[in-house]
Amino acid sequence: MALSTKPLSGMRQRLPGEFRVEKYVTDTLSLCSVQAGFEEYDGPVVEPFALFAAKSGGELAGKQSYCFTDRGGREVILRPEMTPSLARMVAAQGELQLPVRWYSMPLCYRYERPQRGRVREFLQYNLDILGSESLAAELEVILVLQGIMNLFRAPASIYRIGWSSRRFMADALARCGVDQSTRAAVFSAIDKRDKMKGEVWTELLADACASSTIADKVASLVSAGSLSDPWLMDLMQGSSTFDEIVKFNGLLEDVGVTSAVFSPGVVRGLDYYTGIVFELVDTGGENNRSLCGGGRYDDLVGLFGNKKISGVGFGLGVLTLTLFLETYSLIPDSVKKAAPAEVYIAVLSPDEIASAGSLAIFFRRDGIRVMMDVSGKKLGKQYSEAERYGISSVVTVGPDEVETGLYRMKTLSDGVVFTGSPEELSRRLR
């Protein structure tokens, strides 16, 4: 019985053309990180199940995970996200100079049904600062995020960075009369607002609040468009959590990050966020999921001992970002159609293979990317091969060339033929 030609559902497999696009995206992300002084790290793909059970959130660690018992009887999991591993790595380093600014491009795994922008094995770019409690850390990571969008030439009109604060929302909800016991349900209801019709959502919210008067207040809170809203200022009088988001809003304005807007409806799913939270969404509606989610987590590093180290960072889906970029034609043609070489060496007959190889070595030493024919087909087919690859020049090696040391190089775009020694050809190619 023949084996299936398909990979397991949702697992990555990249043909060169697809891989080139993904590489362009990840290279750009790395560049933005490095420009902001972030250093790359990596962690294990297989982790103890308990690492995620504690703080990641019920579904992520439970239903949506690849977990199994290994041969030593340990409950293990293929990491569904990176941040807990990062927290452990930082907690384990006794002499680490804080704060640290690290980034990573891990493969992560979630067992869910694949759909557009959601697969089971995916790259998730992560960028974090640990060991700083200053709002400057939040600002810095959002600046990197903004820098990423700028480098991809995404105009501000097609995306938005919505942000809020868990601390603030907990405080504000309490002031609205939401009981602590129903807070989680209310958060969950708030999170769903944009996905539902108005009346349905109102009903859901009233359900979660167990009171329509409280629900009305929560609805007003979530729809507050600005921090200077009189109703909001009245509600939050004397609140330090409100002061914090006003201060952060001021920082964003002063730096000129106009794509970041205060959005009380932003809650984020992961349980470990405690302070500022944010997400980046496509405003065009073509990709209705968030491309990126992040925030501050105060208690994650503390899980590994007595150290209290606060962190702030975000995860960004390479696949979701790529779909976003493709939707708006932001992947350059030069990436999509990149040729694998500058020159193709056509070999007339098996007698010239060694000479062609020597010529290839010569060009490669000069830093020129050279593809030597290995098909053994007729000369015309070799030219077609070069054409298919998008290679711009073809040098033919036959008995005449080997004897005289002069080679003919044809530029495929205009058909012009140049004849010369390897040195002359090389100079022309550079």
Partner RNA sequence: GUGGGUGUAGUUCAGUUGGUAGAGCCCCUGAUUGUGGUUCAGGUGGUCGCCGGUUCAAGCCCGGUCACCCACCCCA
Instruction: Give contact residues for RNA (rule: CB under 7 A).
Output: 6, 9, 57, 59-60, 64, 81, 110, 112-120, 122, 124, 188, 191-192, 195, 268-270, 279, 288-293, 315-317, 319-320, 348, 377-381, 383-384, 387-388, 394, 396, 398-401, 408, 410, 412-415, 417
Decide: 86 and 128 in contact? Cβ < 8 Å.
Answer: yes
As a whole number of angstroms, the distance between CA 152 and CA 291 comes to: 14
Choose between 255 and 374: whose C-beta lies nearer to RNA: 374
Do residues 231 and 175 make contact, with C-beta atoms less than 8 angstroms apart?
Answer: no
Smaller CB distance to RNA: residue 168 or 201?
Answer: 201
Cα-to-chain-centroid distance, residue 68: 27
- Spatial separation of the C-alpha atoms in residues 413 and 271, rounded to whole Å: 57
Tell me how many degrees the CA angle 233-237-242 measures, rounded to the nearest 5.
75
Nearer to RNA, 40 or 59 (CB): 59
Nearest to 102 by CA among 116, 88, 120: 88
- Mention every residue, 6+ apart, whose C-beta is less than 8 A from residue 236: 171, 172, 175, 242
Q: Give the nearer residue to RNA in terms of CB position, either 195 or 365.
A: 195
C-alpha–C-alpha distance, residues 300 and 19, integer Å: 34
**CB of residue 121 vs RNA: minimum separation in angstroms?**
8
Sign of the C-alpha dihedral computed for residues 300, 302, 308 and 309 taken in this order: negative
Which residue, 232 or 281, has its beta carbon nearer to RNA? 281
Query: What totals of helices (H) and strands (E) does the chain contain, helices first?
Result: 17, 17
Phi, psi for 396 (deg, rounded to 5): -100, 135
Partners of 76 in the β-ladder: 48, 68
Distances (CA, A) of 74 to 46, 66, 81, 305: 11, 14, 20, 22
**Residue pointed to by tokens 């019920």:** 58
77 CB-contact burial (10 Å; exposed 0-12 / middle 13-18 / buried 19+): buried
Give the closest residue to 296 by CA, choosing from 279, 271, 313, 315.
313
- Residue among 239 and 392 whose Cβ is closer to RNA: 392
Nearest distance in Å: CB 242, RNA: 25
Residue among 204 and 236 whose Cβ is closer to RNA: 204
Nearest to 175 by CA among 218, 124, 121, 111: 218
Shortest approach of RNA to residue 61 CB, angstroms? 10
End-to-end CA distance of the chain: 52
Query: For residue 15, with 0-12 CB atoms within 10 Å meaning exposed, 13-18 middle and 19 or more buried, which class applies?
Result: exposed
Q: Least distance (Å) from RNA to the CB of residue 167?
A: 18
